[in-house]
Structure 1
Amino acid sequence: MINTSKGLIITSLGVLIMSLESLFIKLSTISPITFSFYLGIFMFFSTSLTLFIKERDSLKDIIKVSFPILLLCGTLAGTSNIFFISAIKTTTVANVVIIFGTAAIFSTFFAYIFYKEKIGKNIFYASFFMFIGLFIIFNDKLGLGNLQGNIYALFCTISFSLVFVFLARYKKINRVAVTAVTGLVLSLITFIIADTIEIDLYNLAVVAGMGLLITPLSRVLLGVGTKYISASEVSLLMIIETIMAPIWVWMFLKEIPSLNTFIGGTIILLTLIVNSIYTMKRNR
């Protein structure tokens, strides 16, 4: 019971800190590709330093034993980050985090496709209501930019869901190493496709704050906290980001979601809450 409470507190704090990422992206004035390039550098630097200090003796074994899955997950996670940042830049934060909230459902279906893991009836019911919510959000009449951002958010969710499935399958893979590879891949991809990587001191400070502090700290807390609680409890706690990310942006930048986002988001949030509570009760 103590471990469960500890896991809930640490994971909640990690998700709360992670919800600040959308605000930092919105605060920047550079392109999503340039932002992604510098974010990847800072992520790689901070996590590689952590690996070198804590895992110096086993670093070669970590790379040798799990290099293929590290590269796969790092590539998928890096791609997911690019889509996430692009989505935040081209649509409202509320749209992005609500669409991202459906990742658990996508993960369930991918786990079935790749590893034939059984899908409960509750997932089919939840998927039905979630796709109704997504349809309402995607049917918003706010123009091409908004639709493009929603599509980016969907691709981000699909990429992240695949990472979650593979990491759940290969539990012994070092999570810090995955984050380091993610940062490296993120920088390499964006360097190749970027028109420019010029950046001023203000934007550099914004990206550094996210890449050196917000992102690594939130991921470490999530990594520690999720050792003590179930996947359904993690899914329920992830709703904190779905709620708080739009609130941070509204507080600092006065960004107000559309009526379609409120309606579709409410359907998705209620579905996530009911499904997570049902799963927890069934497992117990």
Structure 2
Amino acid sequence: MPAPVVSTQTARAGVRGERIGAAMVLGSAIVWSFGGVLARMLDIEDGWTVIFWRSLFAALFLLAFMLLRDGVRGTRALFADMGMAGFAVGACFATASTSFILALAYTTVANVVLIQASVPLIAALLGWVLFGERVGAATWVAIAAVICGVAIMVSGSLTGSVSPLGDALALLIAFAFASATVITRRYSDVRMTPAGFTGAVLAAGAAASQTSGFAVTAGELGILVVFGALNFGLGLALFVTGARLIPSALAALLGTAETVLQPLWVAIFHDEIPGERTVVGGAIVLAALLCHLGREMWRQRRG
């Protein structure tokens, strides 16, 4: 019996979907990369206060987005259909966002960034072990190049006060984000925007139980609206939509663009010029991402 033939139109639709997914995940990394710039604009001592307001505005943005796009009935259906997979993704986002603040109290930013560079590797391994998702040799090479590049970026500032607890929390961030990526890809038929909303609500609830107060100035509130609605909320919406359409390893790999862009935006907006190692490491990460994306586009065109 002859094997079924996939029509050219179906193949092109699949390629188009992967390109759209890759663009959305890359867009989420770009949106998230402005987080450092926005955080520097705030003069709030209690980090839990920032987490609370940021998560609250992210949740409101995502809820408004779903209501405008799908209506009240459609939004209810989205929450009903997300199931345990959606709740798990939301819990992963909440874990990653709260663990980030806790990790910084015990270890350096450099250690956190370096450990988070393992997200593509963890996502690839989880997808392969749990769901048999194939990872090509070129993707493994790109992942290794990204980890090396980030290691060079932070190698000049790895000294300082660190602890096993801080590094363990940083590793928890990486596992949580990688798990969210793999689950989103595995349940690609489930729209995960409600999961992003759930994660923001969980993070806001955790912050509310820990913060010393909720008072902020009018100017700080305006920055927090942008920080939460656009930086956090829009980034989540782009990521959970795009990650459904591409392999888990590629989604996590594209997410590392945030690591490269954050120092660039801080240098432009706050005159904090990055060091030589940051520039060299960032160039390696960027080259790895561009080469991998270029290879994937060339492969799809040949196919």
TM-score (norm 1): 0.76
* Separation of aligned partners in 2, 1:263 and 1:49: 41
Q: 1:24 maps to what in 2?
A: 38
Hey, what does 1:78 align to over in structure 2? Answer: 94
Corresponding residue number in structure 2 for 1:41: 56
CA-atom RMSD in angstroms: 4.0
What code does the residue aligned with 2:47 have? P
Unaligned runs of 5+ in 1: none
Q: CA deviation at 1:28?
A: 1.6
Residues 1:108 and 2:124 are matched in the alignment:
yes
Residue 212 and residue 134 in structure 1: after superposition, are their counterparts in 2 closer, same or farther (change >3 A)?
A: closer
Give the equivalent residue in structure 1 for 2:141: 125
C-alpha distance after superposition, 1:38-87 (max 9, x if no partner): 11111112222333442411444433333322221111111222345667
Greater shift in the superposed pair: 21-30 or 152-161: 152-161
Q: Does the 8 Å contact 2:103/2:167 carry over to 1? A: yes
Whether contact under 8 Å (2:99, 2:169) holds in the other structure is yes
2:85 maps to what in 1? 69
- Is the Cα–Cα contact under 8 Å of residues 135 and 249 in structure 2 kept in the other structure? no
CA distance in 2, matches of 1:123, 1:5: 15
Whichever residue aligns with residue 42 of structure 2, its letter is S
Q: 1:5 to 1:173 in 2, by over 3 A?
A: closer
Aligned to 2:65: 50
- Partner Cα distance (2:84, 2:258) in 1: 31
Closer, same or farther: CA 49–169 of 1 in aligned 2, 3 Å: same
What is the DSSP-based 3-state SS (H/G/I as helix, E as strand, rest coil) of the residue aligned with 1:140?
A: helix
Q: What is residue 255 of structure 1 aligned with on the other side?
A: 272
Residues 1:171 and 1:6: Cα distance change in structure 2 (over 3 Å): closer
SS of residue matched to 2:189: coil
1:232-243 alignment, distance < 5 Å: 238=255, 241-243=258-260
- Deviation, structure 1 residue 141: 4.1
Counterparts in 2 of 1:85 and 1:206: CA distance versus 1, 3 Å: farther
Which residue does 2:185 correspond to in 1?
168
Distance 1:7 1:158, change over 3 A: same
Q: Deviations over 1:257-284 (max 9, x none)?
A: 3444334434333333333433444454
Q: Which range is displaced more, 103-112 or 264-273?
A: 264-273
Greater CA drift, 21-30 or 50-59? 50-59
- State the secondary structure of the residue aligned to 2:156: coil
* CA shift for structure 1 position 221: 5.1
Identify if the C-alpha distance between structure 1 residues 194 and 67 changes in structure 2 by more than 3 Å, giving closer, same or farther: farther
Which residue identity lines up with residue 268 of structure 1 in the other structure?
Answer: V
- Give runs of aligned pairs for residues 203-222 of structure 1, distance below 5 A: 203-220=220-237
Q: Identify if the C-alpha distance between structure 1 residues 254 and 151 changes in structure 2 by more than 3 Å, giving closer, same or farther.
A: farther
* Distance change in 2, residues 1:152/1:35 (3 Å): farther
TM-score (norm 2): 0.72
28 and 83 in structure 1: CA distance in 2 versus 1, 3 angstrom threshold: farther
Q: Once the 2 structures are TM-superposed, how far is the Cα of residue 182 of structure 1 from its aligned partner?
A: 1.3
Task: Say if 1:103 and 1:158, in contact at 8 Å, map to a contact too.
Answer: yes
Distance 1:199 1:177 in 2: 28
Alignment CA distance shift 1:145-1:175 (3 Å)? farther
Unaligned runs of 5+ in 2: 1-11
- 2:5 maps to none
Q: Percent identity?
A: 20
